[in-house]
């Protein structure tokens, strides 16, 4: 109970601090509209549909063997989830606003903790779907100092997004919509909503992107549903590609003819392909010292989305 009270108080303080730091213009905008993401907002307006979760990270000298008893050298609690992480990157980039569409428990200290951090990064949460008698998803992460690997055990007791959650969102308020490949049947319906909107609003520029990260064959048809598609190294390997160049060239046949396909390959950099631009490769730029690899892919995806939305070429 004391821990719950302490974390709840910290979350409330963080929210107050974040609101106090907002400038007068943003506060005025919020008082005149229930949404800070109207057509008059900054030009880069992103909606990311996926998950938000709590990451409990144990930094260990090495990955433990089965039935091992090991002391962690450090521990951190952090907000996690692919779309959650990418949203917080996007809001730090010039002229960018970002809304997160995720399911969240209606109460609980874990939710308070994660919401406070998202609000601190100015991520809009007004479209999130709330559920009672649920728990926020939790990822238990082991980071190995020996190899830099991260191993994740994920626990979830919360409904996935459904099309009804998406249908109430004013799509005209956005210029880019991104989906994680999960709960495929419902995501397919959400994408149909986007396509229907684009047919009725042909002059509204709205880019659709999809991330296919997990080795789940039922998600692979979503490779064919985005204008920009991110495919992971794990999925590429599962589909018979042993490097990023092969992946983007071979797997593009599963995508729309006009799509951009992007694949990051860790220390080997990243590759992309579109019929208009051909194959593009970018080397990795390793830091002087590796802090951790958690959320590296989410950061990369956000950077690509922001660059393409800003008018950069695929080579850029």
- Mean pLDDT split into 10-residue runs, the chain, 316 residues: 44 42 39 35 82 95 95 94 96 96 95 96 97 95 90 93 97 97 96 97 96 97 98 98 98 98 96 97 88 85 97 94
pLDDT at 287: 84
Q: Nearest-CA neighbor of 211 among 300, 281, 312, 282?
A: 300
Question: What's the number of CA atoms in the CB half-sphere (13 Å) around residue 208?
Answer: 24
pLDDT at 16: 39
**Alpha-carbon gap, residue 251 to 108, rounded angstroms:** 42
**Alpha-carbon gap, residue 97 to 41, rounded angstroms:** 8
Q: Nearest-CA neighbor of 219 among 185, 247, 262, 248?
A: 185
- Geometric angle at alpha carbon 176, from 173 and 181, rounded to 5°: 120
Q: Nearest-CA neighbor of 127 among 230, 49, 32, 21?
A: 49
> Cβ(264)–Cβ(244) under 8 Å?
yes
Owner of token pair 């091992």: 68
pLDDT at 38: 37
- Geometric angle at alpha carbon 86, from 213 and 177, rounded to 5°: 80
């Amino acid at each position: 109970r004391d821990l719950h009270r302490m974390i709840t108080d910290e979350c409330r303080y963080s929210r107050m601090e974040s609101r106090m730091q907002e400038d007068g213009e943003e506060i005025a905008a919020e008082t005149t509209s229930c949404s800070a993401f109207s057509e008059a907002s900054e030009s880069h307006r992103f909606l990311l549909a996926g998950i938000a979760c709590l990451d409990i990270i144990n930094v260990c000298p090495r990955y433990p063997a089965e039935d091992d008893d090991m002391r962690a050298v450090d521990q951190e609690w952090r907000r996690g989830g692919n779309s959650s992480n990418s949203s917080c990157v996007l809001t730090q980039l010039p002229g960018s606003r970002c809304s997160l569409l995720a399911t969240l428990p209606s109460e609980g200290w874990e939710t308070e903790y994660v919401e406070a951090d998202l609000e601190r990064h100015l991520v809009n949460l007004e479209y999130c779907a709330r559920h009672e008698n649920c728990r926020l998803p939790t990822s238990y992460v082991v980071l190995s100092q020996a190899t830099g690997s991260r191993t994740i055990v994920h626990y979830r007791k919360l409904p996935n997004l459904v099309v009804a959650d998406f249908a109430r969102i004013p799509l005209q308020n956005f210029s880019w919509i991104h989906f994680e490949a999960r709960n495929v049947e419902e995501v397919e319906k959400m994408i149909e909503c986007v396509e229907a909107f684009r047919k009725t609003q042909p002059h509204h520029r709205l880019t659709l992107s999809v991330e296919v990260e997990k080795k789940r064959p039922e998600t692979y048809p979503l490779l064919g549903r985005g204008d920009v598609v991110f495919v992971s190294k794990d999925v590429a390997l599962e589909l018979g590609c042993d490097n990023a160049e092969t992946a983007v060239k071979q797997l593009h046949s599963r995508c729309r003819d006009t799509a951009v396909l992007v694949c990051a390959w860790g220390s080997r950099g990243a590759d992309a392909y579109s019929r208009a631009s051909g194959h593009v490769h970018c080397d990795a730029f390793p830091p002087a010292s590796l802090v951790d690899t958690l959320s590296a892919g989410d950061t990369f995806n956000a950077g690509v989305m922001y660059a393409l939305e800003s008018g950069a070429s695929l080579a850029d």
